[in-house]
Amino acid sequence: MTGPRVRFAPSPTGYFHVGSARSALFNWFVARQVVDGTLILRIEDTDTERNREEWVDGIVESMNWLGLTPYEGPFRQSDNTAAHQAAVAELLDRGYLYFCDCTGDQVQARKGDNKTPGYDGFCRDRALAQGPRTALRFATPVGGSTVVHDLIRGDVDFSHGVIDDFVVAKSSGAVLFALANVVDDRNDRISHVIRGEEHLPNTPKQILLWEALNLTSGLVTPIPHYAHLPLLVNEQRKKLSKRKDPVATEMYRDQGYLPEAFVNYLALLGWSSSGEEEKIDVATLIREFRLEDVSHSPAFFDVKKLLHLNGTYIRELSPEAFIERAQPWVSPSTSAWSPQEYQTPWPVENFDPELFGRVAPLVQERIALMGEIPAMVDFFFLADAPRDDDAFTKTIATSEVAQAVLRDLVEEFAAVNWDAETLHATVMSVGERHEWNLRKAQAPLRCALTGRLVGPPLFESLVILGREETIRRIEMAL
């Protein structure tokens, strides 16, 4: 007995949606659970008006970034046009299809006030010949129903009375999604179709086509097991919107989410592990995942929860792994990949790998995204501190006490031992001299040295920055 054969079949019509990433992941889980399981990546590129080649590249790059390998492909649906046309000819020859020359306006005029959606079957018995305006429709059986045996939702019964005679090929001869999808799944011997719930209404049509092809083609193949994944929703519990919500997987990659954290989070959108932990390694996810345990209720895509989980993964990296994973943001010219249209805030020649190695442990505990690293360390690699004008005005320029604290620190720093503990005590002592606590005394010093009010641990940063540079930047701020 061979293992499951699943396919992920996205259309290259936009960025790689997080819902598509979740579908790809659940397919991958099923394929990886047995030694001979197979995942096929099939690009459904027959919509020539909307397809773009860069979207294909985005799909492949995102799949590889998430670690959803190995897979067969990517194959292109457009390469199977001959098989699609052969299926049309077989179905037409056996009477499952008929030609229709109705326009949308004509159909609506016949229906009048009848709000029932779908085609009214007007051309079913007209025996039209093929013409320049004739599409091909499937003659849906009269009476009865088609049951979708869904692994997540149970049996879903679709009455044939609500399935219109749907179009399978345009007048141009182009075969549409419903039939092309079935032909490809049959040729690829797909055992499980795992996709979003928006495809559930298509499924009875595809089952009808599958059964018809079993009778006409001479090739009888079993209908796949279907599993329709729950909708992903935003904070308002509305379907994720491409326009309003952050849905592009590439965006999360460029911001600095770790792929293992992203995979972990996607896995928990509609499914949960048997344990209490939310941080779950991929081997455990593969072992425990079952389609039957996926909920059919909408899943909330909580970016805050994802961000927290990502920070946990970052903090658990070894120092060496953190430095390596930081390269796309600190030294993109030496990295195999870097965020789109990204440049470091410092000149490339200013970057010092050894210095970053000393700084990295200070940063690792403070960030939730790898993309936050440059703003945390840029002051080490710039000739002068960057300047947040609002912070500088509020913290230094309009505060006589802050200026007095900085003047005293210049004098003190010239003579003290240059270690974090001594520097901490010195700033505390100077602050008390001016009736400020440590937190208030640190603010103008941090702003003078780093240009901001947040950053890596201050006194450890002073040690790395050095006595001479520290005093120079305070004097420049004054």
Catalytically active residues are 242
Q: Taking the chain, what is the end-to-end CA distance rounded to the nearest angstrom?
A: 78
3-state DSSP of the chain: CCCCEEEECCCCCCCCEHHHHHHHHHHHHHHHCCCCCEEEEEECCCCCCCCCHHHHHHHHHHHHHCCCCCCEEEEEHHHHHHHHHHHHHHHHHCCCEEEECCCHHHHHHHHCCCCCCCCCCCCCCCCCCCCCCCEEEECCCCCCEEEEEECCCEEEEEEHHHCCCCEEECCCCCECHHHHHHHHHHHCCCCEEEEEHHHHHHHHHHHHHHHHHHHHCCCCCCCCEEEEECCEECCCCCECCCCCCCCEHHHHHHHCCCHHHHHHHHHCCCCCCCCCCCCCCHHHHHHHCCHHHCCCCCEECCHHHHHHHHHHHHHCCCHHHHHHHHHHHHCHHHCCCCCCCCCCCCCHHHCCHHHHHHHHHHHHCCCCCHHHHHHHHHHHHCCCCCCCHHHHHHHHHCCHHHHHHHHHHHHHHCCCCCCHHHHHHHHHHHHHHCCCCHHHHHHHHHHHHHCCCCCCCHHHHHHHHCHHHHHHHHHHHC
